[in-house]
Amino acid sequence: MRFTTRFAPSPTGRLHLGHAYSAILADNAARSAGGVFLVRIEDIDRNRCRPEFETALLSDLAWLGLDCPLPVRRQSDHFDDYAAALDKLRALGVLYRCFLTRREISEQSLSAPHAPGEGIDGVIYPGPAVAMSRDEEHARIARGESFAWRIAMKYSQDLLGEEFSRLEFVERDLTTNVERRIAAHPHLHGDVILARKDTPASYHLCVVHDDALQGVTHIVRGEDLRSSTHVHVLLQKLLGLPTPVYSHHALLTGPDGKRYAKRDQALTLAALREAGVSPAEIRARIGLPA
Ligand code: GLU
C-alpha cells in the first residue's frame, strides 16, 4: 500500500507556526517515502469553523510549498458517511444516549471516591452505574432533552473480549524511523462522546472514518492527540478499519515556552508572510531543513 499521510486542520482560525511544523513534518515523511500528502478540512463543528479560514489555510499551505491532490476532503460535505458509521456502532450495541450535562458529570466526578479526572474531551465519564430504562429514555426524548451518543467502554470490552486487551498501535519515531508497539487502553478515557443530538459526529468518529476511506497509512500529528489514538484504535476495531502507523511529534513552543495557539496572532503564517518572512525562513525558524 502506498505511503499516505495527511494534515487535517480545523478552519477555526489562521494557521500558526505549530501548524506549519506539523504539516511540513507530514509532507517530509511522504516525500521521503515517495508517498502522498493529503490535506483534509475538519470542519464538523459548524459553530467554530468558518469558510474564510478554510480558504486562508489552503493559501497558507500553498505558500509554504505543500502541494496536495485536489479537491481536498471537507468533512462537512460528508455527514451521511459519519451517520452510517454511527449506525454501524449502534447496531453493535456499543452506543447509548447520555442525557447528563458536562456540569453534572463534573459534579459526579468530584463526589466519586476516585475522581476520574480530565480526559481527551474534558472530564472523563466512566459510564452510568445502571443503564437508563427504556421508559425513561423515551420520556426524555419526548421532552426534547439534549443528549450525547457515547461509546460504552464496558460493553465494548465485553463484546471484543480478549481482542480488547490486545488492542495496540505502532508508533514510529520520525527522526530514527524506529517503530514500537504500544498497547491501547481506550477504557482509560471513559465513555467518549461520538455524536450529539445537535452535532452529527465527533472528531474521533470522523477522523477514524476518513483516514480509512482516504487510505491513510501513516498519521503524523501532535503528541496532544496521542491519548485520542487509544480511542481511535478501538473505533477502528469495532468498525473493521485498518489501524495506520502513528507518529506523534512534540509540540512546538514559542520563546515563552508555551505551545503555539490560535490566539497568538503575531505568529500566524499570514502575519509572518506580511512581515516579509519567506517560507524558507519559516522552515528555519521551526528547525526544519529548507
Ligand atoms: N483536526 C485536528 C486538529 O486540528 C487534527 C486531527 C488529526 O490530525 O488527527 O487538531
Q: What is the pLDDT along the chain (290 residues), one digit of tens a residue?
A: 899 999 999 999 999 999 999 999 999 999 999 999 999 999 999 899 999 999 999 999 999 999 999 999 999 999 999 999 999 999 999 999 999 998 898 888 777 767 777 888 888 999 998 999 999 999 999 999 999 999 999 999 999 999 999 999 999 999 999 999 999 999 999 999 999 977 889 999 999 999 999 999 999 999 999 999 999 999 999 999 999 999 999 998 877 888 877 667 668 999 999 999 999 999 999 988 87
> pTM of the full predicted structure?
0.95
**Residue 270 backbone phi and psi in degrees, to 5:** -60, -45
Specify the CATH architecture of the domain 1-77+253-290: 3-Layer(aba) Sandwich (3.40)
Q: Which amino acid is at 127?
A: G
Of 73, 225, 228, 259, the residue with max ligand 1 atoms within 8 A of its CB, to mutate for a pocket test, comes to 225
Res 263: pLDDT: 67
CB 95 near ligand 1, within 6 Å: no
| Chain centre distance of CA 29 | 20
Res 267: pLDDT: 82
User: Which protein residue has the closest C-alpha to ligand 1 atom 3?
Assistant: 9
| Chain centre distance of CA 160 | 23
Res 262: pLDDT: 66
Query: Which tens digit of pLDDT belongs to each residue from 175-187?
Result: 999 999 999 999 9
CB 221 near ligand 1, within 6 Å: yes
**Residue 24 backbone phi and psi in degrees, to 5:** -70, -40
Res 121: pLDDT: 83
Q: Which triple of cell numbers denotes residue 72?
A: 481536498
Report d(CA 247, CA 245) in Å as an integer.
7
Tell me yes or no: is domain 79-242 CATH 3.40.50.620: yes
Q: Where do we find the cell 489501524?
A: 243
Q: Which amino acid is at 238?
A: L
Res 255: pLDDT: 77
CB 14 near ligand 1, within 6 Å: no
Q: Where do we find the cell 473480549?
A: 161
Of 5, 16, 40, 42, the residue with max ligand 1 atoms within 8 A of its CB, to mutate for a pocket test, comes to 42
The answer to whether the bond into 71 is cis (omega within 30° of 0) is yes
Residue range(s) occupied by CATH 3.40.50.620 in the chain:
1-77+253-290, 79-242
Report d(CA 7, CA 22) in Å as an integer.
7
- Does residue 45 contact residue 83 with C-beta atoms inside 8 Å? no
Share of the chain above pLDDT 70, in %: 98
Q: Where do we find the cell 450495541?
A: 93
Report d(CA 272, CA 254) in Å as an integer.
14
CB 234 near ligand 1, within 6 Å: no
Res 96: pLDDT: 97
Q: Which triple of cell numbers denotes residue 267?
A: 505568529
Res 253: pLDDT: 84
Query: Which tens digit of pLDDT belongs to each residue from 92-148?
Result: 999 999 999 988 988 887 777 677 778 888 889 999 989 999 999 999 999 999 999
**Ligand 1 centroid – CA 8 distance (Å):** 5
From the CA of 221, give the closest atom in ligand 1. Answer: 8
**Ligand 1 centroid – CA 44 distance (Å):** 12
**Ligand 1 centroid – CA 26 distance (Å):** 13
